[in-house]
């Protein structure tokens, strides 16, 4: 199984490997430097979803003919009840042109982080600055800082990627017998 990922961020690549290895132990995950086509800090569910889809499509194309799936993983924020929340979208695109998507890891951002994002900053650099970290978005992520590494960004993204991959994997069964 060859999977192309629309990012070279080690967190995203490791998340896809974790998500896929149980089903496909010999999975080959290749990252490509893909632009999402959305802002550096997506600020709505729809924008975050668009970024994931764009990354999946470009990754599938970049991966060549031996690539079976393109994956796009995009983190963003959205406003809910006047509070800023983190969100993640994962899109899987196969060679038939069908998307399989999942969304999750929604959590309310602490006010200190939310204030910086409301002022227009991007989450990774804002969290790095607040907590004296270096390139946090390619390491434990905001979730790792907030939870003191009880959950890190790789684990956060892997569960959402596994769900999207599972939706693709189960697709033929549901075309026949799912209600």
The secondary element (H helix, E strand) that includes residue 105 is strand 99-108
Binning pLDDT at 50, 70 and 90, where does residue 2 land?
very high
Q: At residue 173, does pLDDT exceed 70?
A: no
Alpha carbons 158 and 13: distance in angstroms, whole number = 9
pLDDT confidence bin for 132, thresholds 50/70/90: low
Confidence of residue 176 (pLDDT cuts 50, 70, 90): low
**Residues contacting 145, CB < 8 A, separation 6+:** 127, 131, 133, 136
Average of pLDDT values for 155-177? 88
> What pLDDT was estimated at residue 142?
87
What's the whole-number average pLDDT of the chain?
Answer: 93
Mean pLDDT along residues 169-175: 77
Distance (Å) of CA 175 to CA 92, 169, 170, 179: 17, 12, 9, 9
**Are residues 69 and 3 in contact, defined by beta-carbon separation less than 8 angstroms?**
yes
Q: pTM for this structure?
A: 0.92
Lowest mean pLDDT segment, chosen from 17-31, 42-56, 131-145, 148-162: 131-145
Residue 133 banded pLDDT, cuts 50, 70, 90: confident
Q: Which two tokens stand for residue 46?
A: 């729809």
On the question of pLDDT at 177 being above 90, the answer is: no
């Amino acid at each position: 199984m060859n999977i192309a990922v629309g990012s070279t961020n080690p967190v995203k690549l490791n998340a896809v490997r974790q998500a896929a290895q149980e089903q496909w132990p010999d999975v080959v995950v290749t990252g490509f430097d893909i632009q999402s086509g959305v802002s550096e800090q997506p600020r709505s569910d729809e924008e975050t979803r668009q970024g994931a889809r764009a990354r999946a499509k470009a990754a599938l194309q970049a991966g060549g003919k031996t690539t079976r799936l393109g994956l796009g993983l995009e983190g963003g924020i959205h406003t809910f009840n006047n509070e800023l929340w983190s969100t993640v979208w994962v899109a899987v695109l196969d060679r038939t042109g069908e998307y399989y998507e999942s969304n999750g890891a929604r959590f309310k951002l602490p006010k200190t982080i939310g204030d910086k994002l409301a002022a227009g900053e991007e989450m990774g650099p804002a969290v790095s600055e607040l907590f004296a970290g270096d390139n946090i978005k390619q390491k434990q992520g905001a979730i790792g800082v907030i939870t003191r590494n009880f959950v890190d960004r790789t684990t956060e993204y892997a569960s959402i990627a596994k769900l999207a991959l599972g939706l693709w994997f189960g697709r033929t069964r549901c075309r026949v017998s799912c209600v």
